[in-house]
Amino acid sequence: MNSTSDFVKPALLFVGVVLVSAMSFLAGLLLASRFGSQPTVIEQISGSVDYPILTEVQGLIDSDFLGEIPDQTQQEYGMIRGMLTELGDPYTVFNEPVQAELNSDNLSGKFGGIGARLNFNEDGTAIIDPFRESPAARAGLVTGDMLIGVDGILLTPAMTPDDTVAMIRGEAGTVVMLVIQKEDGTQVEVSIEREEFEIPSVEWRMLDNTDIGILDIGRFSDRTSAEAEQGINELIAEGATKLIVDLRDNGGGLLNASVDVASHFLDGGPILLEEKRGAEDENIFEARGGGPALEIPVVVLMNGGTASASEILAGALRDRDRAALIGTTSFGKGSVQLVYQLSDGSSLNVTNAKWFTPKRAVIDGTGLAPNIVVDPGAGGSDLAQGDPWLEQAIQYFNNNS
């Protein structure tokens, strides 16, 4: 892939769902002045005035606007968002450095941190829930502790959850200083050395009192294929003769990861068809064969949060007659994004291709319809632990054994 600028690094193929605001904050109003002696933001970026109306408007803002004018970086970010909004594609998006770093961590499956989950109340208060035997737990933090400050910076309602998480994360071996408020109201300072943590994307377990294994895939990262293979092998070793692949609320991730996971279930043949900008022929992604779950009966659980990379897996298993889909209609995202890391740590997701199932079913905007529809309010038996999706999966296996 040729880069589009000197600052663009190699892109990742990303097919996850990105939620973006419909507002661009009128980015055209955030460009630089024509009235001052300083070069405008556009002149600094391009070396010339190629957008005269934007520059004219910024001049009027500089001369007449009552409020505080954003700095150059925020003006540039605003301009980018305004330009992307005009493309009319909700998945071509710009991520500021904080969000870009968190996205990268999630896709790589590793990050440096203190080993704790942050839960945010409606007022933005951050409540700590440390993992067992983590640096946070060893430092004396307990569930319910309130995070007040990080490295001398007090948290404010204006800070987003991503801002707070990014302040705590950092390179393994470095130290972060936290201000914690205990449940009795006392405040303490705690110094914690960060460690590297792996973010599991797959969990697995046997369904109690059955020969059914459950493989729960939360997202598709660099680690997902290996984790799924390990899970399948361990479930089969524990006696699983049937397999439930749970893709509920899986918003997607890396395209290649979903293709690799599909290869665990398919002995060769197509997984998806891709139509790419500038390519005359469609690209066919095929299973490599030799996976650990080529014969075991499979069902897939899905809902409205099942999107993109998870729809690729579900659609491939359905079209190749390897699995029945159980649940509700999936989200419906059938496009592929290139993720470019930019020079300042921000990133750009650019829609570059559309994909279809092996039988050329269109997913974008429609989603996958289940073979067996689940009523979310129906409930389930004790065996299904009250889960109507699991209830339908058990009944399906009983009827097709």
pLDDT digits (tens, 9 = 90+) for 368-392: 999 999 999 998 999 999 999 999 9
333 carries an active-site annotation:
yes
Q: How confident is the model at residue 19 (pLDDT cuts 50, 70, 90)?
A: very low
φ, ψ of residue 278 in degrees (nearest 5)? 85, -5
Q: How confident is the model at residue 14 (pLDDT cuts 50, 70, 90)?
A: low
Q: Dump the DSSP string for 85-107.
A: HHHT-TTSEEE-HHHHHHHHHHH
pLDDT digits (tens, 9 = 90+) for 280-302: 789 999 999 899 999 999 999 99
Tell me where in the chain the CATH 2.30.42.10 domain(s) lie: 110-198
As a whole number, mean pLDDT of residues 15-37 equals: 32
276 carries an active-site annotation:
no
Number of CB atoms found within 10 A of residue 369's CB: 13
Closest CA to 341 of 111, 160, 103, 109: 103
Higher pLDDT, 45 or 259: 259
- Residue 241: is its pLDDT beyond 80? yes
Alpha carbon separation from 245 to 40, 109, 261 (Å, rounded):
54, 20, 11
pLDDT at 62: 86
> What would the two tokens of residue 107 be?
């896709």
pLDDT at 49: 54
- Residue 115: is its pLDDT beyond 80? yes
Number of CB atoms found within 10 A of residue 324's CB: 19
As a whole number, mean pLDDT of residues 63-91 equals: 92
Number of CB atoms found within 10 A of residue 21's CB: 10
**What is the rounded average pLDDT for all residues in the chain?**
86
As a whole number, mean pLDDT of residues 336-358 equals: 93
pLDDT at 16: 62
Strand partners, 160: none
Q: Which of 134, 333, 335, 347 is catalytic?
A: 333
> What would the two tokens of residue 25 be?
């904050």
pLDDT at 33: 28
Of 36-40, 75-79, 211-215, 371-375, the least confident: 36-40
pLDDT at 104: 87
| Local structure of residue 59 (DSSP, 8 states) | H
φ, ψ of residue 305 in degrees (nearest 5)? -90, 0
CB 81 within 8 A of CB 331: no
Of 21-25, 32-36, 134-138, the least confident: 21-25
Closest CA to 274 of 266, 262, 286, 264: 286
> What would the two tokens of residue 82 be?
């305004």
As a whole number, mean pLDDT of residues 297-317 equals: 97
Give the fold, CATH level 3, of 110-198. Pdz3 Domain (2.30.42)
Q: How confident is the model at residue 24 (pLDDT cuts 50, 70, 90)?
A: very low
- Gap between the Cα atoms of 154 and 128, Å rounded: 16
Q: Which of 225, 319, 335, 346 is catalytic?
A: 319
Of 23-37, 219-233, 266-280, 313-327, the least confident: 23-37
Q: How confident is the model at residue 29 (pLDDT cuts 50, 70, 90)?
A: very low
Q: Which of 134, 258, 263, 308 is catalytic?
A: 308
The span from the first CA to the last CA of the chain, in angstroms, equals: 48
CATH 3.90.226.10 for domain 202-399, yes or no, is yes
- Gap between the Cα atoms of 167 and 114, Å rounded: 11
Of 146-150, 229-233, 377-381, the least confident: 377-381
Tell me where in the chain the CATH 3.90.226.10 domain(s) lie: 202-399
